[in-house]
Amino acid sequence: MRVLLVGAGGVGSAAVGIAARRNFFETLVVADYDLRRAQRAIASHSGDARLVAAQVDASSADAVSALCREHRITHVFNAVDPRFVMPVFDGAYAAGADYLDMAMSLSHPHPDAPHERTGVKLGDQQFEQAIQWEGAGRLALVGMGVEPGLSDVFARYAADHLFDEIDEIGIRDGANLEVAGYSFAPSFSIWTTIEECLNPPVVWEKDRGWFTTPPFSEPEVFEFPEGIGPVECVNVEHEEVLLVPRWVEARRVTFKYGLGAEFIAVLEALHKVGLDRTEKVSVGGVEVSPRDVVAACLPDPATLGDRMTGKTCAGTWVTGRKDGVDRAVYLYHVVDNEWSMSEYGSQAVVWQTAVNPVVALELLASGAWSGKGVLGPEAFDAVPFLDLLTAYGSPWGVREGG
């Protein structure tokens, strides 16, 4: 396996540190628009000849394809913002490589009824090319981070091993993380956070299909495990709702994120004044994207680990029946920032996101997972993934009662 990792930010750099401890790949080319950032991502592994730094423009399919050909890449691992999904996806296909990402092609709200009906859904552009990828005998594994990703693996595991009938699959994400010295410091890419939190959330119901609601709708308090405790969660647009129903039988699928009132207030303020926009505006004769300005004004999430305390939890809450008896379970994965920093030097949120695609790549390298076309994590057997995740030193859990 010869891997091109596109993006050497927080998640990409964390993935390098995780992969460097494994032996399933021959070469890992770490590429970024800023070559120096790619070089920093591999600097602490200077004795590992498998790691190579390179420069690439992720907005150019031709550039991605050319880099793939130069290094005889077999698998492209996309670790950049979702706005670059399609050029990296297309570049991988053009070069004859398989593909893996952690976020899918962007959505566009319905022009007339954005809070009722879907427009272009997350991943639609990729799934439109599924027949093309399948015909070429190639695999695009989409949404293989933590959420989406591990949460989808949990959904498949629950359907195969814990339930006969499923009423609802509800992804629930919460944390008790705090960052010292900052009044507002998101632990993940603010560009992506704005995209998923301010777009109309999508819900799926068996009798209705996909539909949308207003942002931050249907608040509920969810009790998170391992000392995190109760966190208010709200509907947010996320890939799981678009992925799970394609492979797992359920009556309803939702995604709710534990944001907190202060975080929601900041996002709503950014929206009110137009600072969430991606379209460029002229400032003193310079064309800039307001959202890019917001991102530039905030600290890089990858640099927050030494100021951060607490835990983050990603999980899948499932209700239904087993052997005729009602059942509810919460399958979850918790990462303590103190552990991830001491063990890998990466803060908890980016490490938790990065470990799952590396596990998936190792399963593909070994042949434990294989497929053709554009597939989500639900299309594969969950057990090999969960066993290997545990072998990576990061176990998962199940709580009865949801």
**pLDDT (0 to 100) of residue 181:** 84
What's the pLDDT tens digit per position in 246-277? Answer: 999 999 999 999 987 888 888 889 889 998 88
Residue-level length of the chain:
402
Q: How large is the average pLDDT for residues 160-172? A: 98
What is the CATH architecture assignment of 2-101? 3-Layer(aba) Sandwich (3.40)
Query: Angle, nearest 10°, between helix axes 35-43 and 10-19?
Result: 40
Taking the domains of the chain in order of start, what are their residue ranges? 2-101, 150-348
Q: Decide whether 2-101 matches 150-348 in CATH topology.
A: no
**In which band, very low, low, confident or very high, does the pLDDT at 391 lie, cut at 50, 70 and 90?**
very high
Question: What is the number of other CB atoms lying within 10 angstroms of the CB of residue 271?
Answer: 15
Indicate if the pLDDT at residue 195 is higher than 90: no
Q: Is 80 exceeded by the pLDDT of residue 189?
A: no
Enclosing H/E stretch for 350: helix 348-366
Give the pLDDT confidence score for residue 194 in this predicted structure: 84
pTM, full prediction: 0.94
Query: In CATH, what number does 150-348 get?
Result: 3.30.360.10
**pLDDT for residue 237:** 96
Cis bond upstream, residue 87 (ω within 30)? no
234: nearest Cα among 170, 152, 158, 166: 170
